[in-house]
């Protein structure tokens, strides 16, 4: 077989392997009911709740500190 034909066959096979591997990599994300997505969403919700609690706590502490110094200090 000539080297040109071998190179063409190798190129086609290489592209086929790349497409095959890419489709296998994307397989876990095809299903919208994936457990990974549900777990990630739960984690995101927990982080959001924690952020809200932390911001509420910071506001409370800021108000408490301002009341102790009688508003003489101006916080941003």
pLDDT tens digit sequence for 43-53: 888 999 999 99
Cα distances (Å, whole numbers) of residue 41 to 28, 29, 38, 53, 64: 16, 14, 5, 18, 35
Residue-wise pLDDT tens digits, 23-74 = 888 776 666 555 666 777 888 889 999 999 999 999 998 888 878 777 666 6
Domain boundaries, given as residue ranges, for the chain: 1-30, 34-76
pTM of the model: 0.44
Joined together, the tokens standing for residue 50 give 């924690």
Read off the pLDDT of each residue in 15-23 and give the average, rounded to a whole number. Answer: 91
Q: What does the alpha-carbon distance between residue 38 and residue 44 come to, in Å, rounded to a whole number?
A: 10
User: What is the structure's pLDDT at 51?
Assistant: 93
């Amino acid at each position: 077989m000539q080297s040109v034909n071998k190179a063409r066959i190798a190129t086609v096979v290489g592209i086929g392997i790349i497409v095959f591997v890419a489709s296998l990599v994307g397989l876990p994300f095809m299903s919208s009911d994936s457990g990974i997505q549900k777990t990630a969403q739960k984690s995101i919700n927990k982080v959001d709740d924690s952020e809200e609690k932390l911001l509420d706590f910071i506001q409370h502490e800021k108000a408490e500190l301002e009341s102790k110094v009688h508003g003489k200090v101006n916080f941003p």
